[in-house]
Amino acid sequence: MSEDRVSSLSQKIKKLNFVCVSLAGFILLFVTFSIFVDVFLRYFFRRPSIWITEVSTYLFLYMIFLATSYALQQEMHVKVTFLLIGFSDRVKRVFHLITSIFAMIFCLVLFWQTTEMTWTAFKEKWTTPTMLSAPSAYIYIVMVFGSFILFLTFILQTIEQFRSSESPKNVEEKK
C-alpha cells in the first residue's frame, strides 16, 4: 500500500472512530436519562418500566464496541508499561509490534466469531429470552462492526508507528 493510501485510509478511520465515539456518547446520555426516569417512576409512582433495564443492557454493548477503537486511537487503552522500563526504544518498538500482532489476531478471531454468531442469529431468527423478545442479530451486529474497526485501527496505527520510526529524522539520529 502506498503511503498516500495508508494516510488517506487512516484519516477516514479516525473520522469514523470519532463519529462512533460521538454516537456512543449520545447513547450514554440516553441510557443515563432513561435510568433516571425509571428510578423516578419506580420510587415516586411505584410504576417502573418494563423495558429500560433490558434496553440499557443492550445499549451498553453498543457503547463499548463503538468507543473501543477511538480509545485505541487516542492511546487511552490499558497498557502495562512497567515491564519496558530501562529498555531501548528499539526493544520497545519490537515489543509494541508483537503485542499489536497478538491484538490484531484477537480482533480477527473476535470478528470471525461474532460474524458467525450474528449470521446464525439472523438466519434462525433468534430473540432474547426476555419480555421484550428483541431480535438478537440487531444486538450482536455492533460486535461485528466494532471488532472490524478495531482491527483496522490496530493495523493502521502499527503501520504509522513503524513508518514514523523509520523516517529520515530517525535514520539521521541513528548515524
Is the pLDDT higher at 164 or at 14?
14
Which residue matches cell numbers 429500560?
52
In a domain, 86, yes or no: yes
In a domain, 133, yes or no: yes
In a domain, 21, yes or no: yes
pTM of the model: 0.85
pLDDT, tens digit, 9 for 90 and up, residues 27-79? 999 999 999 999 999 999 988 888 898 999 999 999 999 999 999 999 887 77
In a domain, 173, yes or no: no
Nearest CA to 136 out of 123, 151, 121, 157 is that of: 121
Which residue matches cell numbers 464496541?
65
Is the pLDDT higher at 47 or at 81?
47
- Domain limits at 91? 3-167
pLDDT at 175 over 60: no
How many structural domains compose the chain? 1
pLDDT, tens digit, 9 for 90 and up, residues 30-39? 999 999 999 9
In a domain, 172, yes or no: no
In a domain, 174, yes or no: no
Task: With cut-offs at 50, 70 and 90, classify the pLDDT of residue 170.
Answer: very low
pLDDT, tens digit, 9 for 90 and up, residues 111-139? 999 999 999 999 999 999 988 899 999 99
The beta-carbon contacts of 59-64 under 8 Å, at least 24 apart in sequence, are 59/27, 59/30, 59/31, 60/31, 61/139, 61/142, 61/143, 62/24, 62/27, 62/142, 63/24, 63/27, 63/28, 63/31, 64/146
What is the predicted pLDDT for the residue at 19? 97
pLDDT, tens digit, 9 for 90 and up, residues 151-161? 999 999 888 88
In a domain, 161, yes or no: yes
C-alpha cell at 85: 522500563
